[in-house]
């Protein structure tokens, strides 16, 4: 037999009316049997009566509070409650939400990692639909990291999160480390930072201006050229110029360097000379680079869209090369004379 409870007949019904979203909705749910049916169905689906429709969840909470106080609700029998699995130990909606929150967070984090390949969840990101709405995974993850920083997260929960692939308590540091690892891998594969993808080029440029920790700086300093501004790469030119001088007859100076000169060098750990060829050697165009640095010295070159004057330290290092001159006209004339005299021999 169906037991009917009109919303205005009992004090608890009055309470349901006050807490319902609208009076019309409160009046439509008038039978205990309807509440029992909805609560049982929700419990069968998820294990929580609290995930029944809002009015039914509120009804279950009211029944549980009365049972805990040692009272039997007047409008429902004990047998009906037992059949629906409702007793004094049934979690209220608040208790059920707290009990379910942690497993649900881990479940959605695992889904995010499997889907996106990363545990770095943007703060405004949502995951799958849970209980009819997108789960606010970014917000929950951000709050969990805050709880950890404040010492409010239980050790067992800390351990569970740290077992997730790619989990980091500081996602910014994790992103930094991921970029640094990509730079290292590129250098190991190519022995140069030339050819980096554009996003990584921008990242490296930012690190040269950033406030790095000692550990971060040490990592990047171990990669030749990573912390050297592109405008300050004269160290590689000086190394190549000295290599060219060593291969020339005794007494040769930079005054005799033709613009076409190329020197073949092995990769070095202290400077980024370029990309090695199939023979493992780097063909460095030392003649062309000499002209480039002379032009920079005279303000005739740009890097990107801005002027690229030489740093005083680079000027000093280049001027230490034997026979070096900053005069462009003299070098051009010497190169032209060299080509003129070489042409008959070639023919």
Rounded-to-integer distance, Cα 137 and Cα 106, Å: 10
Give me the pLDDT at residue 2, please: 39
Q: Any residues with CB less than 8 A from the CB of 247 and at least 6 apart, and which?
A: 263
Give me the pLDDT at residue 273, please: 81
Q: Any residues with CB less than 8 A from the CB of 149 and at least 6 apart, and which?
A: 169
| Two structure tokens written together for 276 | 């090695």
Give me the pLDDT at residue 173, please: 79
Cα dihedral: 12, 13, 15, 21 (round 10): 150
- 3-state DSSP of the chain: CCCECCCCCCHHHHHHHHHCCCHHHHHHCCEHHHHHHHHHHHHHHHCCHHHCCHHHHHHHHHHHHHHHCCCCCCCCCHHHHHHCCCCCCCCCHHHHHHHHHHHHHHHHHHHHHHHHCCCCCCCCCCCCEECCEECCHHHHHHHHHHHHHCCCCCHHHHHHHHCCCCCCCCHHHHHHHHHHHHHHHHHHHHCCCCCCCHHHHHHHHHHHHCCCCHHHHHHHHCCCCCCCCHHHCHHHHHHHHHHHHHCCCCCCCHHHCCCCCCEEECCCCCCCCCCCCCCCCEEECHHHHHHHHHHHHCCCCEECCEECCCCHHHHHHHHCCCCCCCCHHHHHHHHHHHHHHHHHHHC
Q: What is the number of other CB atoms lying within 10 angstroms of the CB of residue 264?
A: 16
Give me the pLDDT at residue 109, please: 94
Any bridge partners for residue 302, and if so which?
307
> CA angle 7-91-149, nearest 5°?
125
| Two structure tokens written together for 234 | 């004269």
Give pLDDT tens digits along the chain (347 positions). 333 333 333 444 445 444 444 433 343 445 787 788 777 777 776 666 766 777 887 887 888 888 888 887 767 777 778 777 787 777 777 766 777 788 889 999 999 989 988 888 888 999 999 878 899 999 999 999 998 999 988 999 899 998 988 788 887 777 788 888 888 898 888 887 877 888 888 888 888 778 888 888 888 888 877 876 655 678 889 989 999 999 999 999 999 999 999 999 988 767 778 778 888 898 999 999 899 889 988 888 775 566 667 878 888 889 999 999 999 865 454 444 444 333 333 32
């Amino acid at each position: 037999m169906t037991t009917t409870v009109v919303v205005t007949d009992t004090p608890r019904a009055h309470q349901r009316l006050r807490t319902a979203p609208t009076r019309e909705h409160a009046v439509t749910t008038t039978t205990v049997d309807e509440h029992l049916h909805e609560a049982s169905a929700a419990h069968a689906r998820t294990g929580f009566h609290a995930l029944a429709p809002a009015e039914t969840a509120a009804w279950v909470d009211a029944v549980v509070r009365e049972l805990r106080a040692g009272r039997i609700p007047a409008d429902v029998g004990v047998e009906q409650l037992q059949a629906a699995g409702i007793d004094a130990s049934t979690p209220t909606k608040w208790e059920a939400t707290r009990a379910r929150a942690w497993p649900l967070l881990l479940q959605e984090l695992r889904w995010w990692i499997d889907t996106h390949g990363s545990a770095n969840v943007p703060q405004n990101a949502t995951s799958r639909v849970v209980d009819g709405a997108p789960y606010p995974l970014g917000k929950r993850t951000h709050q969990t990291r805050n709880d950890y920083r404040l010492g409010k997260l239980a050790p067992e929960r800390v351990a569970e999160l740290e077992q997730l692939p790619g989990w980091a308590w500081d996602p910014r540091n994790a992103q930094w480390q991921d970029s640094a690892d990509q730079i290292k891998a590129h250098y190991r594969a190519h022995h140069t930072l030339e050819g980096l993808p554009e996003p990584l080029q921008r990242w490296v440029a930012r690190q040269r201006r950033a406030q790095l920790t000692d550990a971060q700086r040490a990592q990047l300093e171990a990669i030749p050229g990573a912390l050297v501004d592109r405008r300050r790469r004269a160290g590689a030119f000086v190394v190549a110029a000295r290599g060219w001088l060593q291969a020339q007859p005794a007494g040769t100076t930079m005054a005799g360097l033709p613009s076409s000169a190329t020197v073949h060098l092995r990769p070095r750990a202290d400077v980024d000379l370029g990309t090695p060829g199939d023979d493992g050697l780097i063909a460095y165009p030392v003649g062309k680079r000499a002209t480039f640095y002379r032009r920079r010295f005279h303000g005739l070159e740009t890097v990107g869209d801005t002027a690229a004057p030489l740093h005083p330290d680079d000027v000093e290092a280049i001027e230490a090369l034997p026979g070096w001159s900053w005069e462009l006209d003299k070098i051009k004339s010497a190169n032209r004379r060299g080509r003129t005299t070489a042409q008959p021999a070639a023919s």
